[in-house]
Amino acid sequence: MEMFSFSRTHHVKDGLPVLPGRLPIVGHLLGFTLGRNPVDVMLEARERLGPLFWTDSGFGNWTLICTEPEVFEVLRNRVTTSAHFQDIVGVFVGKSLLGQDGPPHHHMRSALNTPFTPRGMTAARVGETTAELIAAQLAGWGADGVTILEQTQTVTLDIIFRIMGIEASEIDEWRAQYKEFMLSGFAFPLDVPFSPRRRGLRARAWLDDKLRAIFRGVGEDGAPSFLKSIVHGRDEEGRGLTEQELLDNTRLLVLAGHETTASTMAWLAINVAQRPDLWDKLCEEARNGSGLPRTPQELKAYPFAEALFRETLRLYPPAPSTSRKTTDWITLCHHRIPPGTMVGVPVGVLGRHPALHEAPERFDPGRWLGRSGAPTPIELVPFGGGPHFCLGYNLAWMEVVQFAVAMARELDARGVRPRLANGPAPRQWYTPLGHPTATTRIEFAPSNASRTDRAAS
Residue 170, pLDDT > 90, answer no
Residue 190, pLDDT > 80, answer no
Q: How far apart are CA 277 and CA 274, in angstroms?
A: 9
pLDDT value of residue 446:
96
pLDDT value of residue 452:
44
Residue 204, pLDDT > 90, answer yes
Phi then psi for 18, rounded to 5 degrees? -105, 135
pLDDT value of residue 453:
47
pTM (predicted TM-score): 0.91
Domain locations in the chain?
A: 92-318+365-456
Mean pLDDT confidence for 172-187: 83
Q: What fold is seen in the domain 92-318+365-456?
A: Cytochrome p450 (1.10.630)
pLDDT value of residue 121:
94
pLDDT digits (tens, 9 = 90+) for 241-269: 999 999 999 988 877 778 899 999 999 99
Q: How far apart are CA 196 and CA 202, in angstroms?
A: 10
pLDDT digits (tens, 9 = 90+) for 265-311: 999 999 999 999 999 999 999 999 999 999 999 999 999 999 999 99
Q: How far apart are CA 108 and CA 236, in angstroms?
A: 10
Mean pLDDT confidence for 227-231: 92
pLDDT value of residue 455:
40
Counting residues of the chain whose pLDDT is more than 70, the rounded percentage is: 95
**Mean pLDDT across the chain:** 91
Radius of gyration of the chain (CA): 22
pLDDT digits (tens, 9 = 90+) for 348-368: 999 999 999 999 999 999 999
pLDDT digits (tens, 9 = 90+) for 427-454: 888 877 899 999 999 999 999 754 444 4
| Local confidence band at 5 (pLDDT 50, 70, 90 cut-offs) | low
pLDDT value of residue 417:
97
Please count the other Cβ atoms lying within 10 Å of the Cβ belonging to residue 130.
28
Residue pair 57/344 in contact (Cβ under 8 Å)? The answer is no
pLDDT value of residue 9:
62
Mean pLDDT confidence for 421-430: 84
pLDDT value of residue 260:
93
CA distances, 397 to each of 16, 44, 83, 403 (Å): 39, 31, 28, 10
